[in-house]
Amino acid sequence: ETQLRYLVSVGPLQVKLEEYPKNRELHATGKTWKFASKWYDEYPYLEYSVKRDSAFCFTCRLFPDGPGSEKHTDAWVSNGVANWNKMKSQGIKKKGKLEQHFSSASHKSSADRYLNFKNKKLHVDLMLDSNRMKEDQEQEMILQLNKQVIATLLDSARYLARQGLAFRRNPECEGNFVQLVYLQRRNNQVFNDWFLKMKLEKYQV
Ligand SMILES: [Zn+2]
């Protein structure tokens, strides 16, 4: 699964060479004797292996098994196609090997499996991203709220200090600080919400 993910993210191996190796036998007969990179434009899942001088199909190689794949040929999956003649056409009435493969039912089913896999992965990635963003936003909001609350409490403490008032006169009655906090709660919605929430949290397990 991890390897498949990696291969899907890399995409088809479309090696482009200045000159592809010549097939001497075909060259002698005057037929198409080498791979052509322009075929990639028409068939986006077409691949070329330098090591084996052969063509493969990306989606059939990665997703060979599944409904509709019963008739697949190993040529495009594991053996590779290296007979470069008749790739584009095989006479007027018969499709070339490329067209034959890429329009076949077994190829279409592998392409479907590939697209499903890719979309599923994309969906999971997007979900992770949006969850992360939501968490970040929530944390940022809590941070901003805490900043405001601290600023309000500090303001109250500074006010008392500046006016030379004691925080609390005696243990029996509510002191200046508590009175001031009440006043701030009346004027500051954010601070009041925070205060009520803190009060409730005391009773929560
Ligand atoms: Zn295919």
Q: pLDDT tens digits for 40-86?
A: 999 999 999 999 999 999 999 999 887 766 666 788 998 899 889 88
> What is the radius of gyration, based on Cα positions, of the chain?
36
Total domains in the fold of the chain: 2
Instruction: Determine the pLDDT at residue 47.
Output: 96
Distance, CA 125 to ligand 1 centroid (Å)?
27
Q: How many CA atoms lie within 13 A of 164 on its CB side?
A: 0
pLDDT at 149: 87
Q: Are residues 191 and 159 in the same domain?
A: yes
- The pLDDT score that the predictor gives to residue 35 is 93
Range of 190's domain? 138-201
Looking at the chain, list the stretches that DSSP marks H as alpha helix, in order from N- to C-terminal side. Answer: 2-10, 24-29, 39-42, 58-62, 74, 97-102, 105-163, 176-187, 189-201
Q: Is the same domain home to 99 and 10? A: yes
How many A from CA of 95 to the centre of ligand 1? Answer: 15
Cα–ligand 1 centroid distance for 92 (angstroms): 23
- State the average pLDDT over residues 165-180: 73
Q: Which residue has the higher pLDDT, 51 or 130?
A: 51
- The residue-averaged pLDDT of 142-149 equals 86
Both 46 and 103 in one domain: the answer is yes
Non-local CB neighbours of 81 within 8 Å, separated by 6+ positions: 54, 55, 56, 75, 87, 97
Q: Does the pLDDT value for residue 121 go beyond 60?
A: yes
pLDDT at 65: 83
- CA of 101 from ligand 1 middle (Å) equals 6
Burial of 200 (0-12, 13-18, 19+ CB in 10 A): exposed
| Ligand 1 mean position, distance from CA 25 (Å) | 27
